[in-house]
């Protein structure tokens, strides 16, 4: 196949802006906001410069863009060791207990800060009734009792959650900017597409290159250390939403696997990339279920009114043994499995019995309290997933009168919710019983020198959610300050020719300019592939071969090998991507990152010879959980030159007793 080159004959060369900094934060989500809040406090008096680069507007970027109605990790009266047990159980016995413990002992402080900054937290009144955050009440730090929906979750009025967290981050950036005398240290609508290694050390990062999605400008950042925290990977799989509903997903469509792709390309070890999250969600609007199950005490059944988690227990137990024994102790994945058994048997649709839950709660309520309950039901979605409220309205569903359909969604790759795909990182190093090699100096640093991650980026440590991602960003931010102080003399020098990288990034613009007149419809052309088509092809491969919805999340060795062959061909065709404008240029590189993340995922599922997460995915040829051989971490490393992956096992170590 002819290889395309960009000589800027058919597209305009961008202006190049260079920015030298000390700590580069790639992303502006919960983790990066936490990192700058914490890091700037320690680093600014030492003259350390922070720079944040977000592809979107930080006030409303990432997973928390629409807000949230609960904080899913607040330990409160619980011991961090209990938090470890809970996470270990839900993630099928394989987690990094040092990282999870570390998170558990720090997370509450972030929640206290959120409340301090203005986030309304629901409180339990003295008579035991619930009060939403609009009523005056003592703060959590003043002895206020949160309204717990579950053991770990607390309710909030969270429509403006991200704006509040971003405000604190922006203030920290501004303080750092003024004190260190730099001109600008917050770049929004700049999409980072490449990391660049150090000239003298291929296993060290020295910079990152990105482009503005609004102006013809490329940004070249050099930094001593960086936090790669661009969230998880959405739209790698063909979504359930089609045509007029396409674009709707549960996790944020803007997070396209940049975290995993850039880390892999830089040579970082990834861990448990076979893991994914398939959430059970309200059908078509992707509304989260947690508040309904936990706060409203709602039951989900098949269409015959049967509790599928009880009726299917024996079948699941026959296949997965101890992981399907007690109907009240099932993992998130196993609950999906049991739901799907009934869906396959034609007992769907699965129904969330919202009407019965609300009627039961309403039995002892006054009309005014009932009205409030109804408002809470709608608010749960209006605060974090507005599309679901629209689906209800459009389908004449009043939740107090009718049940709603539930559905397992397409798979997402993430490390902060009920999943644990991600990057292998150094732990804090002060937790007894942890192997020495799990700590290499700096908390949350990857195996690439100077490259840190947090939130969705950190693997083998799920159930952090929004609060935990912020807290983990803070841990990383502080460790990065130490890294800078320890490497005060280090001067980053880029290990690649910048003009060459810029030409590569802009290649899709050149390809488009060169060939656009070969056809009358710019979306169809024998010489190039537009991002929309590229994405459709990727999603079809992932869906059909790598356990997407069309095979009920099932795959096998032979299917995976064929899928990987198709992915290799797609990667070759990536050299023919075409972009009509800057927005499409971003779409091209997003899809390339999705492809890299999807490839890692497929390689890991192929390597692990058991169905470790039944209900998230199944290996038809290994339809069991094999603790004897596979209760271990799976590690991958990508070689950018040969485009090959190497995979290995690493021992799991239990620290917190059962």
Q: Give the one entry of ligand AMP, ligand SFD, none that residue 535 binds, where binding means its C-beta sits below a cut-off of 5 to 8 angstroms depending on kind.
A: none
* Dihedral pair phi/psi, residue 478, rounded to 5°: -70, -40
Instruction: Check: CB of residue 440 under 8 Å from CB of residue 424.
Output: no
Q: Which of residues 539-598 bind ligand SFD (CB under 6 A)?
A: none
**191 binding ligand SFD? (CB under 6 A):** yes
Does 155 engage in binding with ligand AMP (CB under 6 A)? no
68 makes contact with ligand SFD (CB under 6 A): yes
Per CB under 6 A, the segment of 61-69, 177-185, 240-248, 350-358 that binds ligand SFD is 61-69
**Using the rule CB under 6 A, is 150 a contact of ligand AMP?**
yes
Beta bridge pairs of residue 17 = 219
What tokens were used for 489? 């003399």
Instruction: Give pairs for 303-307: CB < 8 Å, separation 24+.
Output: 303/347, 303/348, 303/349, 303/350, 303/351, 304/347, 306/342, 306/347
CB < 8 Å & 24+ apart, contacts of 149-152: 149/70, 149/290, 149/291, 149/294, 149/295, 150/290, 150/294, 151/78, 151/86, 152/72, 152/73, 152/74, 152/75, 152/78, 152/83, 152/86, 152/463
198: its two tokens: 């150090």
Q: From CA 424, how far away is CA 429, in angstroms rounded? A: 14
Given ligand AMP, ligand SFD, none, residue 418, with its beta carbon under 5 to 8 Å by kind, binds: ligand AMP
Residue 294 makes contact with ligand AMP by CB under 6 A:
yes
As a whole number of angstroms, the distance between CA 535 and CA 541 comes to 10
Nearest residue to ligand SFD, using CB? Answer: 29
- Assess 290 for contact with ligand AMP (CB under 6 A): yes
Beta strands in 292-391 (DSSP E): 300-301, 350-352
**Run of H or E residues at 391:** helix 386-394
What is the distance between the alpha carbons of residues 263 and 637, in angstroms, rounded to a whole number? 10
Among 173, 407, 418, 602, binds ligand AMP (CB under 6 A): 418
Give me the least distance between CB of 378 and ligand AMP, in Å please. 16
Please say which residue, 278 or 481, places its beta carbon nearer to ligand AMP: 278
| Sign of torsion over alpha carbons 579, 582, 588, 589 | positive
Contacting range for ligand SFD; rule: CB under 6 A; set: 58-66, 269-277, 359-367, 614-622: 58-66
121 binds, options ligand AMP, ligand SFD, none, Cβ within 5 to 8 A by partner type: none
For ligand AMP, which residue of 153, 259, 331, 467 counts as binding (CB under 6 A)?
Answer: 153
Choose among ligand SFD, ligand AMP, none what residue 455 binds, the Cβ cut-off being 5 to 8 Å by kind. ligand SFD
Q: How do strand 270-271 and strand 50-54 relate by DSSP bridges?
A: unpaired
What is the closest distance, in whole angstroms, from the C-beta atom of residue 253 to ligand SFD in the complex? Answer: 10
* Binder of ligand SFD out of 149, 255, 302, 634 (CB under 6 A): 255
Bridge-based pairing of strands 15-20 and 70-71 is: unpaired
Q: Which does 64 bind (CB under 5 to 8 A by kind): ligand AMP, ligand SFD, none?
A: ligand SFD
Query: Of 155 and 560, which CB lies nearer to ligand SFD in the complex structure?
Result: 155
Between 67 and 348, CB nearer to ligand SFD: 67
Choice from 44, 72, 110, 193 touching ligand AMP (CB under 6 A): 72
Site map (CB under 6 A) of ligand SFD, residues 365-384, x = contact? -------------------x
**409 close to 283: Cβ distance less than 8 angstroms:** no
Strand partners for 554: 618
Residues 432 to 471 in contact with ligand SFD, rule: CB under 6 A: 455-456, 465-467, 469
User: Residue 63's binding partner, choosing from ligand AMP, ligand SFD, none, with beta-carbon cut-off 5 to 8 A by kind?
Assistant: ligand SFD
**Shortest spacing between CB 150 and ligand AMP, in angstroms:** 6
Choose which of 279, 411, 428, 513 interacts with ligand AMP (CB under 6 A): 279
Encoded tokens for 165 = 């967290």
Neighbours of 494 (CB within 10 A): 19
Residues 54, 31 contacting (CB under 8 angstroms): no
- Tell which one of 61, 222, 331, 354 touches ligand SFD (CB under 6 A): 61
149: its two tokens: 């929906």
Instruction: Select from ligand SFD, ligand AMP, none the partner in contact with residue 334, using the beta carbon and a kind-dependent cut-off of 5 to 8 Å.
Output: none
Does 231 participate in binding ligand SFD (rule CB under 6 A)? yes
27 binding ligand SFD? (CB under 6 A): yes
Under the criterion CB under 6 A, does residue 301 sit at the interface with ligand AMP?
no
Binder among 11, 25, 36, 63 for ligand SFD (CB under 6 A): 63
> What is the total count of residues that contact ligand AMP (CB under 6 A)?
12
CA distance 235 to 249: 8
Residue 61 contact partner, candidates ligand AMP, ligand SFD, none, CB within 5 to 8 A by sort of partner: ligand SFD
Max Cα separation, the chain? 75
Contact 220, 212 (CB under 8 A): no
84, 230, 266, 460: which one binds ligand SFD (CB under 6 A)? 230
Residue 572 phi/psi, 5-degree rounding, is -60, -40
Instruction: Tell me whether residue 166 or residue 507 sits nearer to ligand SFD (CB atom).
Output: 166
The residue among 130 and 654 lying less far from ligand SFD, judged by its C-beta, is 130
Query: Which of the choices ligand AMP, ligand SFD, none does residue 150 contact, using the CB cut-off of 5 to 8 A by kind?
Result: ligand AMP
Structure tokens at 51: 């720079």
From the CB of 90, what's the least distance to ligand SFD, in Å? 13
Using CB under 6 A as the binding rule, whether residue 293 contacts ligand AMP is answered as yes
CB 646 within 8 A of CB 600: no
Which residues, other chains included, contact 281 with Cβ-Cβ below 8 Å and sequence gap of 6+?
250, 287, 288, 289, 406, 407, 408, 409
Copy the structure tokens of residue 90: 């839900």
Question: What residue 600 binds from ligand SFD, ligand AMP, none (CB within 5 to 8 A, per partner kind)?
Answer: none
Our CB check for ligand AMP shows the closer of 80 and 290 to be 290
Full strand arrangement of the beta sheet holding 300-301: 280-282, 404-408, 350-352, 300-301
Q: Give residues in contact with ligand AMP (CB under 6 A).
A: 72, 150, 153, 279, 288-290, 293-294, 332, 335, 418
Q: Give residues in contact with ligand SFD (CB under 6 A).
A: 26-31, 53-56, 61-64, 68-72, 191-192, 229-231, 250-252, 254-255, 258, 288, 290, 384-385, 416-417, 455-456, 465-467, 469
């Amino acid at each position: 196949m002819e290889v395309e080159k960009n000589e800027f004959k058919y597209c305009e060369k961008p202006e190049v802006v260079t920015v030298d900094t000390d700590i580069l934060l790639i992303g502006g989500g919960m983790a990066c906001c936490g990192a700058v809040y914490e890091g700037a406090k320690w680093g600014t008096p030492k003259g350390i410069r922070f720079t944040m680069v977000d592809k979107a507007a930080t006030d409303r970027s990432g997973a928390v863009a629409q807000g949230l109605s609960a904080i899913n990790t607040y330990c409160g009266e619980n011991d961090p060791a209990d938090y470890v047990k809970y996470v270990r159980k839900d993630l099928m016995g394989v987690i990094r207990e040092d990282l999870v413990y570390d998170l558990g002992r720090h997370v509450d402080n972030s929640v206290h800060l959120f409340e301090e900054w203005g986030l309304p937290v629901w409180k339990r009144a003295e008579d035991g009734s619930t009060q939403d955050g609009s009523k005056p009440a003592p703060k959590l730090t003043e002895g206020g009792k949160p309204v717990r929906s579950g053991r770990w979750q607390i309710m909030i009025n969270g429509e403006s959650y991200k704006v509040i967290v971003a405000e604190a981050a922006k203030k920290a950036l501004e303080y750092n900017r003024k004190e260190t005398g730099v001109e600008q240290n917050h770049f929004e609508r700049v999409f980072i597409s490449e990391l660049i290694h150090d000239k003298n050390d291929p296993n060290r990062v020295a910079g990152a290159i990105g482009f503005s999605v609004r102006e013809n400008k490329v940004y070249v950042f050099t930094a001593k250390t960086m936090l790669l925290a661009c969230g998880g990977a959405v739209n790698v799989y063909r979504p359930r939403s089609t045509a007029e509903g396409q674009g709707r997903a549960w996790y944020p469509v803007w997070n396209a696997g940049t975290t995993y792709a850039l880390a892999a390309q830089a040579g970082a070890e990834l861990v448990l990339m076979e893991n994914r999250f398939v959430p059970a969600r309200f059908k078509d609007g992707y509304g989260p279920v947690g508040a309904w199950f936990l706060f409203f005490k709602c039951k989900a059944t098949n269409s015959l009114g049967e509790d599928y988690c009880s009726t299917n227990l024996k079948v699941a137990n026959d296949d997965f043994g101890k992981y399907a024994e007690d109907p009240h102790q099932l993992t998130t994945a196993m609950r999906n499995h049991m739901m799907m058994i009934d869906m396959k048997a034609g007992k769907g649709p699965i129904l969330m019995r919202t009407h019965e839950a609300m009627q039961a709660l309403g039995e002892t309520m006054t009309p005014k309290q009932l009205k409030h309950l109804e408002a809470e039901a709608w608010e749960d979605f209006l605060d974090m997933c507005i599309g679901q409220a629209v689906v209800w309205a459009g389908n004449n569903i009043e939740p107090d009168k009718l049940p709603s359909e539930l559905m397992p969604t397409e798979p997402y790759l993430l490390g902060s919710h009920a999943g644990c795909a991600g990057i292998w990182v150094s732990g804090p190093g002060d937790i007894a019983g942890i192997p020495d090699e799990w700590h290499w100096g700096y908390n949350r640093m990857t195996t690439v020198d100077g490259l840190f991650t947090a939130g969705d980026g950190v693997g083998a440590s799920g159930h952090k959610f929004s609060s935990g991602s912020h807290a983990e960003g803070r841990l990383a931010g502080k460790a990065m300050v130490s890294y800078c102080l320890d490497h005060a003399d280090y001067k980053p020098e880029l290990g690649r020719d910048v003009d060459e990288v810029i030409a590569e990034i802009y290649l899709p613009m050149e390809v488009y300019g060169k060939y656009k007149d070969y056809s009358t419809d710019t979306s169809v052309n024998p010489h190039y592939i537009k991002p929309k088509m590229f994405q459709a092809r990727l999603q079809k491969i992932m869906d059909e071969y790598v356990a997407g919805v069309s095979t009920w999340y099932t795959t096998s060795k032979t299917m995976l090998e064929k899928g990987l062959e198709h992915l290799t061909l797609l990667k070759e065709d990536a050299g023919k991507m075409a972009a009509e404008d800057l927005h499409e240029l971003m779409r091209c590189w997003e899809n390339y990152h999705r492809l890299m993340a999807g490839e890692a995922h497929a390689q890991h599922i192929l390597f692990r010879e058991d169905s470790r997460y039944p209900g998230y995915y199944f290996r038809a040829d290994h339809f069991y959980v094999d603790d004897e051989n596979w209760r271990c971490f799976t590690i991958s490393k990508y070689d950018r030159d040969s485009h090959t992956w190497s995979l290995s096992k690493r021992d799991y170590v239990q620290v917190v007793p059962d």
